[in-house]
Amino acid sequence: MEIEPLDPVYVRERLSRPPFVQIPGVANVRDLGSYHSVTHPGSMTRPRMLFRSAEISAITEEGKVKLKELGISVVYDLRSDTEIERYESPMPEIEDVEVLRVPVFKTEDYSPEMMAKRFALYASGKTEAFMELYSQILDHGGLAFGVILRHVRDSPNEGLLFHCTAGKDRTGIAAALLLKLAGVEDNEIAEDYALTRVGREPARQKVMTRLSQIPMFATNTEAALNMFTCRREVMFAFLALLKDRYGGVEGYLRDYVHLSDDDIHVIRRNLLAPEK
């Protein structure tokens, strides 16, 4: 089953291969480079430019060195104030690396009523529930995603990493928008999304301990485990939602992120490199 623990031998082996990157103290780190573009034959997403991960609060000194070795000059934190306080996971200080807050949701989006509804959707594990959640992320995330996209537009030679708490939902949507804009085929975008199931596995006990603090999950282990699901069909459904409700990635970037056609052209160009 999707919610059962993965074989640790498989997890270690898979984490040792691309697109996973090892940064000590940080889980679920992946390089979004080297994906082929179907809209721009002969091109691929630029390696060592865009990285995604789970939260970096526990990054070690060795991890900070690795971050800089990868060429990452800016980290964008998509988490809310509420999450940082609840999980006591402040942003770290990293010499020569800018760590910036770009929350998708504002504090008022974390009212008890809003959180109860959001947790109920997560707990169901159903694709339809995730689409409701993901449309909320798209509706609220224009400003946050815009900061990342404008970095690609203005500073394409400065590597960046973006993350939320688990590196799955908000981070997964940001990654999907970038990959879709670059012309990566849906199957590969869905595969990138599904890899979070492997990337999060080493933090499984930490996640379960955190969820046990929430009454809904403390008494319902299966609901808590549904938070781990990263099914390919969920990403396929999201890409259909993006197309049908938001006018595709370009429509979303124009209407919700307020980028011009020229901006979108430059960002796409900067995302791509010649295939090796």
Q: For the chain, which domains are there?
A: 8-274 (3.90.190.10)
| pLDDT digit string, tens, across residues 97-114 | 999 999 999 877 666 677
| pLDDT digit string, tens, across residues 56-96 | 999 999 999 999 999 999 999 999 988 888 888 999 999 99
- Smallest Cα–Cα separation from 201: which of 3, 2, 17, 6? 6
Task: Give the pLDDT confidence score for residue 271 in this predicted structure.
Answer: 98
Res 43 pLDDT > 60: yes
Report field, pTM of the whole predicted structure over 0.85: yes
CB 105 within 8 A of CB 80: yes
Strand ranges (E), 68-133: 72-77, 98-101
| pLDDT digit string, tens, across residues 142-161 | 999 999 999 999 999 999 99
**Better pLDDT: 28 or 226:** 28
Strand ranges (E), 38-125: 43-45, 50-53, 72-77, 98-101
> Could you give the CA distance from residue 98 to residue 204 in angstroms, rounded to a whole number?
28
- Give the rounded percent of residues in the chain with a pLDDT score beyond 90: 75
| Residue appearing with tokens 């109860």 | 116
> Could you give the CA distance from residue 17 to residue 27 in angstroms, rounded to a whole number?
14
| pLDDT digit string, tens, across residues 158-193 | 999 999 988 999 999 999 999 999 999 999 999 999
Strand ranges (E), 144-216: 159-163
DSSP letter assigned to residue 92: P
The mean predicted confidence, pLDDT, of the chain is 92
Instruction: Give the Cβ contact number of residue 235 at 10 Å.
Output: 25
Task: Give the pLDDT confidence score for residue 110 in this predicted structure.
Answer: 64
Task: Give the pLDDT confidence score for residue 1 in this predicted structure.
Answer: 45
> Could you give the CA distance from residue 257 to residue 255 in angstroms, rounded to a whole number?
6
pLDDT tier for residue 204 given thresholds of 50, 70 and 90: confident
List b or e across 108-140, with b for residues whose CB sees 16 or more CB atoms inside 10 angstroms.
Answer: eebeeeeeeebbebbbebeeebbbebbebbbeb
